A and B are shown apart, each in its own frame.
Chain A
Amino acid sequence: MATKLPAIASLSAADVLVANEPTWLQTWRQAALATFKTLDVPYWRRTDLQAFDYAAMQLSAEASPFTIGANAPTGVVVMPLAQAVREHPAIVQAHLGSAVVASVSTYAAINAATWRDGWFVYVPKNVETDVPLHLIQGFGEGNTLMTRNLVVLERGAHLTLVEQFSGDGGPNSNAVSELILGDGATLKYTGMQTWGANVRHVGHVVAKVGNDATIEWVAINTGAAHQHIEAETNLVGNGSRVDWMAATVASDGQRLLTAPWLRHVGRSTEAHMDFKTVVKGSGYATFDGMIKIEGGSTDTITRLEEHALHLSPQARSDSVPGLKIDTNNVQKAGHASTSGEVDEEQLFYMQARGIPKSEAVHMIVMGFFEPVLDRIPLESLREQVTAAIAARI
Chain B
Amino acid sequence: MTLEANELEFDYSKYGFRQEENYVFKSGKGLSEAVVRELSMMKGEPEWMLKRRLQALAIFYKKPTPLDGAWGNPDLASLNYDDIHYFVRAGDKPASDWDAVPEEIKNTFERLGIPEAERKFLAGVGAQYESEVVYHSLREEWSKRGVIFLDTDSALREQPEMFKQYFGTIIPSADNKYAALNTAVWSGGSFVYVPKGVHVDIPLQAYFRINAENMGQFERTLIIIDEGASAHYIEGCTAPQYSTNSLHSAVVEIVVKKGGKFRYTTIQNWANNIFNLVTKRAVAFEDASMEWVDGNIGSKLTMKYPSVYLMGRGARGEVLSVAYAGKGQHQDAGAKMVHNAPDTTSVITNKSVSKGGGKTTYRGLVKVHPGATGSKINVNCDALILDNLSKSDTIPYIEVEEANVTLAHEATVGRIGEEQLFYLMSRGISQAEAMSMIVLGFMEPFTRELPMEYAVELNRLIQLEMEGSVG
Contacts and interface: CB of A to CB of B under 8 A. Distances in A.
A322 B396 contact: yes
Contacts of A311: 403
B394 interface: yes
A305 to B, nearest CB: 10
B385 A315 contact: no
Contacts of A330: 385, 413-415
Given A312-B403, A318-B398, A318-B400, A325 B411 contact: no
Given A329-B388, A329-B415, A313 B370 contact: yes
B407 A323 contact: no
Nearest to A290: B395
Nearest to B2: A329
Contact of A316 (B386, B390, B400, B407): B400
Interface in B399-441: 399-415
Contacts of A308: 400
B383 interface: yes
Interface stretch (A203-211, A336-344, A381-389): A336-344
Contacts of A316: 399-401
Contacts of A85: none
A339 B400 CA distance: 7
Interface in B440-461: none
Contacts, number: 115
Interface in A24-73: 43, 45
A341 B399 CA distance: 14
B385 A324 contact: no
Contact of A327 (B68, B373, B388, B407): B388
Q: Is the interface of A mostly helix, strand, loop or mixed?
A: strand
B408 to A, nearest CB: 5
A59 B330 CA distance: 48
Contacts of B405: 310, 339-341
A21 interface: no
B413 A339 contact: no
Given A45-B70, A328-B386, A340 B407 contact: yes
B64 interface: no
A338 B408 contact: yes
Interface in B364-389: 370, 373, 383, 385-388
Interface string A120-145: 00000000000000000000000000
B397 interface: yes
B411 A323 contact: yes
B370 A336 contact: no
Contacts of B395: 320, 322-323
B392 interface: yes
A310 B400 contact: yes
A328 B396 CA distance: 21
A161 B456 CA distance: 60
A329 to B, nearest CB: 6
B356 to A, nearest CB: 11
A22 interface: no
Contact of A341 (B68, B386, B403): B403
A334 interface: yes
A322 B393 contact: yes
List 8 A-B pairs, minimum CB-CB distance, nearest first.
Answer: A310-B403, A328-B385, A323-B394, A334-B412, A337-B409, A339-B407, A333-B413, A328-B415
25 contacts: A43-B68, A43-B69, A45-B70, A310-B400, A315-B401, A317-B400, A318-B398, A321-B396, A323-B395, A325-B393, A325-B413, A326-B391, A327-B385, A328-B387, A328-B388, A331-B414, A332-B414, A333-B414, A335-B411, A336-B410, A336-B411, A337-B407, A338-B407, A340-B404, A340-B407
